[in-house]
Structure 1
Amino acid sequence: MRLALPDTFDVVLLQGEAECFLDQDVPGDAAEAFATKFGWDPRAEEGPFLYVRVVPKSVRAWRGEPELRGRVIMRDGTWLE
């Protein structure tokens, strides 16, 4: 799975393994950590929600075109910087 966050100027590109959990199946500690961080608990809402956990294998980050080269900051799950 690849995720590109947040926009086209300041970019973080994660590549890794993704695991999906329905709201009723998400591990309790992960759901609590999410709710604490964001101040919102999808488990309390009506309708189904999907949690996605991504374990990054590589991460690239850059700001604009001048920084496109050499922006791998994680490879094979190990931070390079």
Structure 2
Amino acid sequence: MTQLRPAPPAPRSTTQRREHAQAQLRNRYELWLATGGVAGPHLIPVNYVWDGAQLIMATFEASPTVANLRVNAAARVAVGDHDDVTMIDGTVALVPVGELEPDLAEAFARVSHDPRVMPGLIYLRFRPRRAQVWNGFHEFTNRTVMRDGTWVH
């Protein structure tokens, strides 16, 4: 017997979606990071901290992710689940371990391996440009909650 899916809820407003995205960024610490470049498309799970304006992550300096970012700083992150996702496009700057602000390094060490004591890692500073939020096909319309680095109101 085929089980029918329940009807989707009414789409959330832009304000509700923006607030949801901001809450996800504040309250989670895991995301998927996608890059592209000479190493080809590459997708990795990483931990992060959000300071209200940027995401701080870290990965191995010799990784395909870093090779891609050295050629193309554009990246995309996905926070959440496939049926409740925040997708963010932005640019990534590579930050040597000794150059990240101490408060951000401390915050990152609470959610992941500490690059300050684990050789071979480099920080990634992700600056968002566009964010989209949806929890199903019924929310594809009006899913953009950030444009040009500014939250939509």
Q: Is the 8 A contact 2:97 2:116 kept in 1?
A: no
- TM-score where L is the length of structure 2: 0.44
Name stretches of at least 5 consecutive residues in structure 2 with no aligned partner: 1-74
Q: Is the 8 A contact 1:13 1:61 kept in 2?
A: yes
Name stretches of at least 5 consecutive residues in structure 1 with no aligned partner: none
State the Cα deviation string for residues 5-52 of structure 1 (Å, max 9, x = none): 23311111111111122434433232123235x2x5513543322321
1:31 to 105, 109, 114: 105
Q: CA RMSD in A?
A: 2.1
Matched length? 79
What percent identity do the matched residue pairs reach? Answer: 32
Answer with 40-49 or 5-14: which moved more: 40-49
1:19 to 93, 97, 103: 93
- TM-score where L is the length of structure 1: 0.74
Q: 2 CA distance for matches of 1:11 and 1:27?
A: 29
Q: Is the 8 A contact 2:90 2:128 kept in 1?
A: yes
Q: 2 CA distance for matches of 1:50 and 1:7?
A: 27
1:53 to 101, 121, 125: 125
Higher strand proportion, which one?
1
1:8 to 82, 94, 101: 82
1:66 matched to 2:66? The reply is no
Secondary structure of the 2:115 match is helix
